Every structure is written in structure tokens, then in C-alpha cells.
Amino acid sequence: MKIILDAMGGDNSPYAVIDGVALSRKKDSQTQFVIVGNLSEITKYINEKKYDFSDVQIIDAPEVISCEESPTVAIRQKKNSSLVVSFDMLKNDESIDALISTGSTGAILAGGFLKIGRIKGVSRPSLCPVLPTKKGTNVLIIDSGANVDCKPINLCHFAIMGSIYCKELFGIQNPRVALVNVGTEDTKGNELTKETYKLMQKLPINFIGNMEARDTLSGDYDVLVCDGFTGNVLIKSIEGAASFVMKELKTAFKSSFKAKLGAILAMSSLKKLKTKMDYNKYGGSPLLGCNKTIIKSHGSSKADTILAAINLAKSYTNANINGKISDAVLNMPDICEVENV
Amino acid sequence: MKIILDAMGGDNSPYAVIDGVALSRKKDSQTQFVIVGNLSEITKYINEKKYDFSDVQIIDAPEVISCEESPTVAIRQKKNSSLVVSFDMLKNDESIDALISTGSTGAILAGGFLKIGRIKGVSRPSLCPVLPTKKGTNVLIIDSGANVDCKPINLCHFAIMGSIYCKELFGIQNPRVALVNVGTEDTKGNELTKETYKLMQKLPINFIGNMEARDTLSGDYDVLVCDGFTGNVLIKSIEGAASFVMKELKTAFKSSFKAKLGAILAMSSLKKLKTKMDYNKYGGSPLLGCNKTIIKSHGSSKADTILAAINLAKSYTNANINGKISDAVLNMPDICEVENV
């Protein structure tokens, strides 16, 4: 297994990536690594930390693609950026199995699409992050923002890819797939979800119907399907609400002496809660539907997150998820009788 | 001021409505009330509670419209339902200023549209609930689910109506209006938000740009504009996430003796937090854009919520918000050069 890491573009670049690789190498000496980024910064940090990275390939590519740039323009023009160099190596070097980046989501999507290409039959590659649930299980949200305007067939592909990924990643034999909607009744929804509902019933997945957004974290669903605009609003609303409640809680705990004392006593339990809710532990999200393993890790990733992303890249590749997606999409029933769905 | 209340269709019907009216009458003997619903149930409860409702008009309409029914069919056919009777009285009796219902949202929308009608120039009436923010202010979400498929012009009307409502309700002179989107940059979004962004810049409102869903409760915005599908996902995600965190917190507090003791000490501060986050205190949401005051109150409303809804109906009517919306929409600049936006 050989993994290439774009060391730039994240909040803690390139240090988090280097530390993450070091953590992984402590536990697994088999996996090979290529780190791409500002060579002098990277080697300086490796020397400072006294890491033995003699068999890690470091590629100099000092340019960085920022989140403000147009993703497609940047991928086409910034040939010396750490992300483009990483994608070019992933494309041309057959020994490289996977790519990890904490950089611009849009640029990673554009790179996956333009440089690596889609799995045959998949209409749209998609990002699919994981959230924790009330029941201690996990739930996948697909799409989470890659595709802001979707047709029903795109959502069907998301459902198939999400179902396969969930099965392989969490060992769930028959993942419960639901469509994010404004009500649970099958007549509810906008034009997109109403049409998608009909098609999803015909797919070879465990489609259990519509779900209202308030039940996202209920643990009653394994895979939630939606267009990328909705997925983005869903995930960011949850993030914002959780941060709101935690902040209010902090204020409540500081509001009186008794409350402060209470907070100190409850501290270790509260810390466990914080860990449970930390979605960085998942490492990131694969770009499902592309021809190689591509992991988008959070911009604020620290060493632990990068380690988790490396482990995700390994298990994703070892489980041959892309091959399984390819088979499933090619063998998909002909559900789209109406043109242009 | 005369207010008609649909006493049926909520979780605590008809008791919450009756108790709510009683609470209001304690503080304000001027407002007149009409209560519509199951006459024998209502009078039995009034007698039990020994309320002096001698000058409250009670109208018998025992049929109830459920949330499972098709709203338009129910409004057209269930002529003896409490909601249809209420709407008919609101329409035909000029002395009645406002209607309050805890019943089916869809049926209230359909009733507003079919029985009362839109304010001239408003393309779509809209529901607009209020959420609390980190800074202690409030934020309006428009549309929250009434219109699941929207065009840019609909969102422009939402922005104008939300801005007026916010100004009148909270006394904010120049409400900060933002468009819910997947990024803050003006190039971000799906087809709908990209086109809406351009139009909203031309409106006579304080449009401050795009907002990502994670900042909904930041307190940096007063009015958030989106299509009803997005608004529904936004609000329900926040509701679900807050409930998730509170449940996890409860578990954390129960996990050890020390944590339990801590919770007891912090209890009064935590209760204050719960009150702060309780959106029932707002009473409900007006159906903005209809020709009379129509308040949709939460299905789970208790007496306190009904009292808040009555106060909302009064201030909404007294501020002549419908008149102001009518003026604003008729005097709107001609922003739509392209047909069918």
C-alpha cells in the first residue's frame, strides 16, 4: 500500500500531515508514504521532530490552492501546487493507491473529476461524511456538498455508493437507506425528492423511505441521501446547533458558584461526551465514485485526524470499494424510463 | 381586537387553547375571543376549570383535520372541521382580526391561500419561525417549509416580508438579511441561490450576503432567507442536534456519582438554559403574505404557548404588518428582467 498526502492547504499544514504519518508509521511499517508540499518546511519539521523518514518520499510543490480560488481553474492552471502534483502522481504512478488532502474541498472534487475520472456509470462523484448517533452507531450523509444541483438519477447513485461504503466500512450487512425530506409520508417533498422516492424503491438497496432532518442522529438510519445543497445545510446546521448548545452550557456552568462546582464534578463525563461528538475521529470522507481512493480530510485536521484518514484510506482500498461500486452501477436495474431524470 | 382560535388539531387540544385564552383574559379583558371545536368537550372543560367565559363565543365544529390528510382536499371538503369553520368566519366576519391554530401546517397554509387569499403582489405566503441566537437576539427563518419548490422571485418576497416582520416584531430598524447558502462567497450556491443573490442585491433591504448553515444561531443575522425545503431541513436539523446534545448530556450526568452530584449543583443554571432554548415561547409563526393575521402555533403547544400566540396575533395586527407588506411589494423595484425568475 502506498499513500500520497498533500501536506498543504489545511489549517495545521504541513505539521499535522507529517505528525500523522509519523503516528501511522509507529503502528504499521508496511505502508509507504509520499508527502507533497513545501520541501524546506517539511524537511525542517521532520528534522526538528527527529522523525526517521528515510524511506518516505518528499516531493517539492510549494504552491497552495486556497479555498477562495475557482477549483477548476486552480486544478487546470496551478500545476506546481501540492494538490495538482499529488493528483498527477496518483494518476500516473500505478504503485500509488490513495490520496489524502486537507485542502479546498472544491479543488479536491475538481481534481478527482478532471485528473482521475469517474467510475464508469457513476453520474456524479460524491462526498460522504459520517456523524455519530444517539444509539452509538454512525450515519453517512451523501451528498454533503459536492453536487449542489442534482437530478433523481444522481441521488440514486449516491444511495448505491453510500450503501456499499456503509456496508464495507461498518460491517452493516443491509444498511438502512433513507431520503432526506420534509416529511415521512411518501407523497411529501419537492420535485426532486418526490421523483427520487419513486426511483429509489426500485434500487437493490434497503430503502426504508423518507426521513425528516430532526431524526438525522436518531440511529434509525445508516445512510441518508440528499442533494449536496441539502446535505451541506444539514451537516452545518447540526454543527452550528451543537456548538450553540455547548457554548450555552459553558455559560450556564459559569453563572454561579454552585454551577461551577457542579461542572468540575461532572468534568470527566463531559469530556467523554465531547470525544463522542468529535467527528474528526473519522478522518474524513472518501470521494465516492472516482477511479482511485481519494480522502478529503477536514481543514482543521490534527495529527490524530490524519492518522484516522490514513487508516480510512487503507481500509477503503483493501475492501475494493471502488470495484464494488463499479459492479453495482453497471448492474443497476434500468430505473429511468423518463428521459432526463 | 377579536381573535378566533381553532381549538382542535394539536396534541393538547382543546385544553391548551382554553387555558391559553384564560391566561390572556386575566391580563387583558379588552380582547374578544371565538373558540371553535368540539362544543361539549370545550364547555365541559370550561366548567371543570370554572372559567368565566360568558363573553367568549364557542362555535361547535367537532371534525378535525389530521396531519395525514391532503391539506387542499381537507380544506375543500371538511366543511365542518374546526379549521375550515375558523377560516370561514375569519373570511366572512369583518370584526375578526386574527386566527390561531395548532393544527396541520399544510391545512393552515391551504386555508390561508384558498380561503383568505394572498396580499396583492406576494407570489407565495410563507411561514417564518424564530430561533434564539448565541448573542441573545433572535433570528427569523423564512421560508420554513410552506414552499418546497421556489423560484428566485419567491425568495425575494420572503426577504421583504421577513425584513418587515423582523423590524416590527423586534424593533430592529434595519434587519440584517442573509441568504442561506453552501458558502459565503457570492459565486457559491446552486442555481436558485446564485440567481437569487443577484436579485436580492437590488431589493430595498439590508442584504448582507450569503450565510453558511453553521452560523444560523451566531446572532450575526436577523432574517435568513431560503426555499421551504432548505428551511425545513435547517430548522429540524437544529432541533435534532440540540435534542441529541441534551440527551447525551443527560447520559453523561448519570454516568457516575460525581457527575450526578455535579448535575444537581448545576441544575438551576441548566433549567435556565432549557428555557432559553425553548422555542415555544415565541407562540408560533405568522403566515406572512396572506390578507389577514394567521398564526400557526406548534402542535405540542401548551397554555403558555397559546398565550404567546395570542400576544403575537395582537402585536402583528396592531403593527399593520400586512399593510406594510402590501406597500413594500407593490413598490418593489422591477428586479426581474428575465422572464420566469
Mean pLDDT, chain B cut into blocks of 10 residues (341 residues total): 95 95 95 97 97 96 90 94 98 97 94 96 93 92 94 97 95 97 91 96 96 96 98 94 85 82 79 72 91 94 95 96 95 64 42
Q: What average pLDDT does the segment A299-312 reach? A: 94
**Which residues in chain B (147-166) have CB-CB distances under 8 A to chain A?**
148-149
- Gap between the Cα atoms of B101 and B301, Å rounded: 10
Assess if residue A76 is contained within a domain: no
With a cut of 80, say whether residue A337 has pLDDT above it.
no
- Gap between the Cα atoms of B283 and A309, Å rounded: 46
Amino acid B124: pLDDT: 94
Single-letter residue type at B127: L
Amino acid A319: pLDDT: 96
DSSP-assigned letter for residue B63? B
pTM: 0.91
CB atoms within 10 A of CB B265: 22
With a cut of 60, say whether residue A57 has pLDDT above it.
yes
C-alpha cell at A199: 426511483
Assess if residue B162 is contained within a domain: yes
Phi and psi dihedrals of B297, rounded to 5? -100, 155
Assess if residue A34 is contained within a domain: no
Q: Give the one of A70, A216, A269 whose C-beta lies nearest to B252's C-beta.
A: A269
The domain spanning residue B273 has which CATH number? 3.40.718.10
Instruction: Give me the percent of chain A exceeding a pLDDT of 90.
Output: 76
- CB proximity B265 to A under 8 Å: yes
Amino acid B341: pLDDT: 42
For residue B251, the enclosing domain spans 126-282+323-331
Q: What average pLDDT does the segment A30-37 reach? A: 97
B223-225 and B138-142 as β-strands: parallel, antiparallel, unpaired?
parallel
Instruction: Give me the percent of chain A exceeding a pLDDT of 70.
Output: 97
Assess if residue B183 is contained within a domain: yes
Taking CB atoms and an 8 Å limit, are A216 and B264 in contact across chains? no
pLDDT digits (tens, 9 = 90+) for A21-31: 999 999 999 99
- CB proximity A214 to B under 8 Å: yes
Amino acid B279: pLDDT: 65
State the residue for C-alpha cell 450556564.
A252
Amino acid A260: pLDDT: 84
Amino acid B338: pLDDT: 44
Q: How many domains does chain A have?
A: 1
- CB proximity A338 to B under 8 Å: no
The string of DSSP codes covering A306-321 is HHHHHHHHHHHHHTTH
CA-based nearest residue in chain A for residue B185: A68
Q: What average pLDDT does the segment A297-322 reach? A: 95
Taking CB atoms and an 8 Å limit, are A242 and B241 in contact across chains? yes
**Closest approach of chain B CAs to the CA of A136, in angstroms?**
10
Taking CB atoms and an 8 Å limit, are B256 and A268 in contact across chains? yes
Query: CA-based Rg of chain A, rounded to a whole angstrom?
Result: 21
Phi and psi dihedrals of A118, rounded to 5? -80, 150
- CB proximity A246 to B under 8 Å: yes
Assess if residue B120 is contained within a domain: no
With a cut of 70, say whether residue A83 has pLDDT above it.
yes
pLDDT digits (tens, 9 = 90+) for A194-244: 999 999 999 999 999 999 999 999 999 999 999 999 999 999 999 999 888
- Gap between the Cα atoms of A335 and A156, Å rounded: 9
Q: What average pLDDT does the segment A49-76 reach? A: 93
Assess if residue B60 is contained within a domain: no
Grade residue A279 by pLDDT with cuts at 50, 70 and 90. low
Chain A residues close to B276, C-beta within 8 Å: 248
Amino acid A258: pLDDT: 81
Query: What average pLDDT does chain A have?
Result: 92
Assess if residue B35 is contained within a domain: no
Query: Is the CB of residue B180 less than 8 Å from the CB of residue A233?
Result: yes
Assess if residue B61 is contained within a domain: no
- CB proximity A72 to B under 8 Å: no
